[in-house]
């Protein structure tokens, strides 16, 4: 029996235990954006480190940052063979509105072949597939076919603020030939994909203050500017009714995609009507002149992520509020820069904001967009590994989401990333009832066993 | 000593006890809009009824409604003299945001001559002045100079939904020559006022639903309508940048005021710069072509009272929300009708709302605007009583707020209302740190002692 067969066989026989361990991982509420969960985030890092230690990885360490820590581990027993750096994140999004979850977000529950929990797909389930693929080799052969390094962070959901500094400080230890990341989706159930492009992110909060305290809307109404009304005017001015962003200069640095790439995207088996039904809307909406996939992958956005002001409880309160706030963010495409886009949005809002209210503009997160070259040998290896793992050739896709670290690896370590996601697009990421298809979890483990063999020249 | 002097003397000597009783009244959290306070609202009605019983009023009763009850009492021992119906309300607004209160909202606290508490000015403090003026007569002379009826309700802050039915059902018992109401403000500290006009109210909630669940703003952003963005566009379309409401037909039924009334308003000693500073804004804002007092008193409004959608917590959550909601209301002037205005606003919003989201429009409260004739004998009596109570002739004013029952008394009982308010415009009604000037509380008691004598032909 080859090392591949031994590892595949070990992984197959350990399915029940692997799944139990994944559930334990998901039970830890590692919500990185809420300070009350800080101890749980730490406990989650310790969980990952302990598992890496137990399976035989070396130099396992919890690396402190100015925020939540990173988990590092390596196995360098294959001299002359390539070195792969696996990146993932153990932190998760908040769970609100919690009342919309069918089962509790931190009590992993199996239904219809899916595992439901916050972080099931984004990204604990996919990180766990990597841990278990390595364990399958180490437990069956005592070695891996390549040199392997793990860096699993705890701040991806809040913009990976402290990771770039850590990568700079640890550039020697982290050096590798390629980064492999599983923090995304296949094209469809049964159709694996290799992702070569990610959008960047710039996230802001705007706060408007009008009168110094809340006022009676009868006594004062009509005679003083209402901050919610001003906010509505500012937000409405961000986009026209055909979905075109109105911030001057916003599109200046957008690299238009080639006719070849547009044609390749158009050939993908994407069912727009099924997508519309899945979202439960009467009509889709987006920037005029682009297809739905183009709107999601290759065009920038400007979304309002949250808004609050005045009375929002039960019944009617006739208040003229003192303040209103909104959270906004842009998904960016090459060659847009999050800082420059922030400057443009802030300048536009300040120009539109009347003197009747005061405006505060706060920058909360930023990440560069990235496109990965398709001719790297690791990309071809991933294509063959996915054929083995899922029985079907992958398509090449881009993704609308953001993995800020991909740009950092390119800039700091000079290495490309190969993105092999095992999620699905309807995994309810960042939303109630997040889930992970169990056949993708196990298919992911098989794929990664093949990928390390392909990269090691053994397959 | 005349009956007036005896009553004034009694009220003066009982100041400490009266104030202690007012504080006990204010300690009861009678928030009518929040169902969790229902028992406290009931307890507050019982508090008022017990006080009326104790002071010697007759046929004291807690009258049930389909919502919170009304307190009734009468004293009809002056045959041949006029009958006055005193209306007030014992319910109060919610207290949120509670963290902005200097002292707890239901722990009345004296500072700088003011009494701070939710309901201090609106309307418990003013109702209490009425109770104590009656008590002063009954305790000192055993009788009142007029026939007096009290109707003190518990749903004013939620639109007095069940009061009209009660007034219709009790029209015989409530019959009177005039209604006297103290639920408003003097023109300024030391300058009393008689109010002859009130704005009406129409209050609505709009709910927008887009995708069936919250979505990841990276995976889906750009390809589906964002309900907060749609809401911002709808709200921004309600008014132009000169404060003019854009709902077609909104101004059709507005009765323009006379040149004489405009001139009278313009002569009032209103300090716009002080008003601006009090609000803490760099500039005032309102409908072009009207003064600040006209904007507050004789022009209709359309205000956003609250808005909520998406992620509003700490940090950044990259969500594309499923839903967004806003609370809106209009202050109305004669001859606008709240139902018709609601129809116009709903039709306008439905016309503007794109098919990418679904819109629900809910009507939460309605009240007619009202203007009271100035030539009623009770108005002249009130002018003289205010001269006695505060040592200065009152001005005639209108108010921007709403007392829904005034229109009902006119329609159901055929009697006018005289509005004699003892609050001040900076009492922070409906807001944190609501307060009532103690000299106005005691001046109010003196004024009402004089008013009953004037109306009884004794002064």
In percent, how much of chain A has pLDDT > 70? 100
- Nearest residue of B to residue A93, measured between CA atoms: B317
B218-257 burial code (b ≥16 CB/10 A, e <16): bbbbbbbbbbbbbbbbbbbbbbeeebebebeebeebbeeb
Q: How confident is the model at residue B403 (pLDDT cuts 50, 70, 90)?
A: confident
Number of alpha carbons in the 13 Å side-chain half-sphere of residue B372: 32
Give the model's confidence band at A211: pLDDT under 50 very low, under 70 low, under 90 confident, else very high: very high
SS3 content of chain A, % helix, strand, coil (to 5): 35, 25, 40
C-alpha distances out from residue A206 to A247, A450, B242, B278, B315, Å = 15, 48, 23, 25, 12
- Helices assigned H by DSSP within B98-224: 124-141, 163-169, 171-174
d(CA A33, nearest CA chain B) in Å: 6
Min Cα distance B230 → chain A (Å) is 8
Q: What is the pLDDT of residue B228?
A: 98
Cβ–Cβ gap B317/A331 under 8 Å: no
Looking at residue A232, what is its pLDDT?
98
Of B226, B314, B425, the CB nearest to A303: B226
Chain B residues in contact with A217 (beta carbon < 8 A): 301, 303, 305, 329, 331, 430
Tens of pLDDT along A361-373?
Answer: 999 988 889 887 7
- Backbone angles phi and psi of A232, in degrees to 5: -60, -40
Q: What is the pLDDT of residues B78-92, one digit of tens each?
A: 999 999 999 999 999
Pick the catalytic residue from B40, B91, B155, B261: B91
Q: Give bridge partners of residue B75 from the DSSP assignment.
A: B148
Flag whether residue B228 sits within 8 Å of chain A, measured between CB atoms.
yes
* Confidence (pLDDT) at B458: 76
With pLDDT > 90 as the criterion, what percentage of chain B qualifies? Answer: 88
A–B: how many Cβ contacts below 8 A? Answer: 363
Q: Please give, rounded to a whole number of angstroms, the shortest distance from the CA of A327 to a CA of chain B.
A: 8
CA distances (Å), origin A193, targets A268, A276, A386: 11, 22, 8
pLDDT band at A42; cut points 50, 70, 90: very high
* Residue A328 three-state SS: strand
pLDDT given at position A270: 93
CB contact B433 to A (< 8 Å): yes
Which pLDDT score is estimated for A411? 82
Instruction: Residue B272: list chain A partners with CB under 8 A.
Output: none
Predicted confidence at residue B282, as pLDDT, reads 96
**Which two three-digit tokens encode residue B85?**
């119906």
Coil/strand/helix, residue B102: coil
Q: For residue A315, what are its two tokens?
A: 């019944």
State the ipTM, two decimals.
Answer: 0.78
**Residues in CB range of A274: below 8 A, 6 or more apart:** none
Phi, psi (rounded to 5 degrees) for B367: -155, 140
Structure tokens at A325: 């706030």
Q: Mean per-residue pLDDT for B51-55?
A: 98
The pairing of strands A193-198 and A395-399 is parallel
The first and second tokens of residue A205, run together, are 């909060």
Any CB–CB contact under 8 A between A308 and chain B? yes
What is the C-alpha separation between B247 and B287, in angstroms, rounded?
A: 14
Identify the pLDDT of residue B354: 97
Pairwise CA distance, residues B304 & B355, whole Å: 23
**pLDDT confidence bin for A314, thresholds 50/70/90:** confident
Window 81-100 of B, Cβ < 8 Å to A? 93-94, 96-97, 100
Rounded distance, CA A160 to CA A183, Å?
A: 14
Place of tokens 């039915």: B165
Known catalytic residue at B427:
no
Please tell me the predicted confidence (pLDDT) of residue A34: 93
Q: For B262-289, give the DSSP string.
A: HHHHHHS---HHHHHHHHT-SS----TT
Is B213 an interface residue toward A (CB < 8 Å)?
Answer: yes
Which residues make beta-bridge pairs with A191?
A: A188
The residue of chain A with its CA nearest to that of B158 is A316
Q: What is the pLDDT of residue B240?
A: 94
B273 to chain A, any CB pair closer than 8 A? The answer is no
How much is the pLDDT for B399? Answer: 87
Nearest to A222 among B96, B296, B402 (CB): B296
- What does the pLDDT average to over B283-305? 97
pLDDT of residue B395: 95
Between A158, A220, A327, which is nearest B311 by CB?
A327
Q: How far apart are CA A395 and CA A266, in angstroms?
A: 12
CA dist B1 → A87, A141, B6, B78, B140 (Å): 94, 112, 6, 20, 11
pLDDT at residue B373 above 80? Answer: no
Confidence of residue B9 (pLDDT cuts 50, 70, 90): very high
Mean pLDDT for the stretch of residues B340-359: 98
Mean pLDDT of chain A: 95
Tell whether A151 lies on the interface with B, counting CB pairs under 8 A: no
Answer yes or no: is pLDDT of B410 > 90: no
**Closest A-chain CA to B160:** A316
**Burial of B337 from C-beta contacts in 10 A (0-12 / 13-18 / 19+):** middle
Model confidence at B405: pLDDT above 90: no
Residue B159, pLDDT score: 82
Residue of B nearest to A363 (CA): B316
Question: Angle between the A438-455 and A377-390 helix axes, to the nearest 10 degrees?
Answer: 140
* Token pair in block for residue B205: 């909630």
pTM over the 0.80 mark:
no
Q: What's the gap between Cα A235 and its chain centre?
A: 25
Q: Would you state the pLDDT for residue A455? A: 95
b/e sequence A364-398, b meaning 16+ C-beta within 10 Å: bbbbbbbbbeeebebbebbbbbbebbbeeebbbbb
For chain B, give percent helix, strand, coil, nearest 5: 35, 25, 40
Does B220 sit within 8 Å of A296, measured CB to CB? yes
Contact A196, A101 (CB under 8 A): no
Question: Which of chain A's residues have a Cβ under 8 Å away from the Cβ of B308?
Answer: 307-309, 312
Mean pLDDT of A393-415: 89
Distance from CA of B122 to the nearest CA of A (A): 11
With CA atoms as reference, the chain B residue closest to A297 would be B219
Q: Which domains does chain A have, with CATH numbers?
A: 3-198+369-455 (3.40.630.10), 200-253+297-367 (3.30.70.360)
- The encoded tokens of residue A97 equal 């509105």
Lowest mean pLDDT among A300-309, A429-438, B397-406: B397-406
Q: How many residues does chain B have?
A: 459
Of A229, A261, A207, the residue nearest A398 (C-alpha)? A261
User: Measured between CB atoms, does B274 come within 8 Å of chain A?
Assistant: no
Q: Is the pLDDT of residue A287 over 80?
A: yes
Q: Binning pLDDT at 50, 70 and 90, where does residue B367 land?
A: confident
* Strand residue runs (E) in A321-378: 323-332, 358-367, 370-371
Encoded tokens for A406: 């991909």
| Of the listed ranges A52-66, B257-271, B433-447, the one predicted with least confidence | B257-271
pLDDT of residue B153: 97
Higher per-residue pLDDT: B162 or A373: B162
Q: Do A311 and B305 touch (CB under 8 A)?
A: yes
pLDDT digits over B190-224, tens only?
A: 999 999 889 999 999 999 999 999 999 998 999 99
Residue in B51, B156, B399, B427 annotated catalytic: B156
Output A74 or B366, whichever has higher pLDDT: A74
Per-residue pLDDT at B431 exceeds 80: yes
User: What value does the mean pLDDT take over residues A209-234?
Assistant: 96
Query: What's the confidence (pLDDT) of residue B1?
Result: 74
Position of tokens 């009824």?
A: B49
């Amino acid at each position: 029996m080859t090392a591949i067969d031994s590892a595949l066989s070990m992984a197959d026989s350990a399915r029940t235990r692997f799944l139990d361990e994944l559930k334990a991982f998901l039970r830890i509420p590692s919500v990185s954006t809420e300070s009350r969960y800080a101890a749980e985030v730490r406990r989650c890092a310790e969980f990952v480190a302990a598992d890496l230690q137990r399976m035989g990885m070396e130099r396992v360490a919890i690396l402190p940052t100015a925020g939540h820590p990173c988990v590092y581990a390596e196995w360098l027993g294959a001299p002359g063979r390539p070195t792969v750096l696996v990146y993932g994140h153990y932190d998760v999004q908040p769970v609100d509105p919690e009342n919309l979850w069918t089962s509790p977000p931190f009590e992993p529950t199996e239904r219809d072949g899916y595992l439901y929990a916050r972080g099931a797909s984004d990204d604990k389930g996919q990180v766990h597939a990597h841990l278990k693929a390595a364990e399958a080799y180490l437990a069956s052969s005592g070695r891996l076919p390549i040199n392997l390094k793990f860096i699993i962070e705890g701040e991806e959901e809040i913009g990976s603020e402290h990771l770039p500094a850590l990568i700079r400080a640890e550039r020697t230890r982290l050096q590798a030939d390629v980064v492999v990341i599983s923090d995304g989706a296949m094209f469809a159930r049964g159709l694996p994909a290799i992702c070569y492009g990610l959008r960047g992110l710039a996230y802001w909060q705007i706060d408007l203050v009008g009168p110094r305290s809340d006022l009676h809307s009868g006594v004062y109404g009509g005679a003083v500017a209402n901050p919610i009304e001003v906010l509505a005017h500012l937000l409405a001015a961000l986009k026209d009714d055909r979905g075109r962003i109105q911030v001057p200069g916003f599109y200046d640095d957008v690299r238009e995609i080639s006719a070849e790439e547009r044609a390749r995207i158009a050939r993908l088996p994407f069912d727009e009507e099924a997508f519309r039904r899945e979202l439960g809307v009467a009509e889709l909406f987006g920037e005029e002149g682009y297809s739905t996939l183009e709107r999601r992958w290759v065009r920038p956005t400007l979304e309002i992520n949250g808004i609050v002001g005045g009375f929002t409880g039960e019944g009617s309160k006739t208040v003229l509020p003192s303040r209103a706030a909104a959270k906004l963010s842009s998904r960016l495409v090459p060659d847009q820069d999050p800082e420059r886009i922030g400057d443009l949005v802030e300048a536009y809002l300040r120009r539109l904001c009347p003197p009747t209210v005061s405006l505060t503009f706060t920058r909360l997160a930023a990440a560069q967009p990235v496109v990965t070259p398709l001719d790297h040998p690791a990309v071809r290896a991933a294509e063959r590994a996915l054929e083995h793992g899922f029985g079907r050739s992958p398509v090449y896709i881009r993704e609308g989401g953001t993995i800020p670290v991909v740009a950092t690896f390119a800039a700091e370590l000079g290495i490309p990333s190969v993105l092999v996601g095992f999620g699905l697009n309807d995994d309810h990421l960042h939303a109630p009832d997040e889930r992970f298809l169990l056949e993708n979890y196990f298919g992911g483990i098989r794929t990664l066993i093949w990928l390390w063999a392909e990269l090691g020249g053994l397959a």
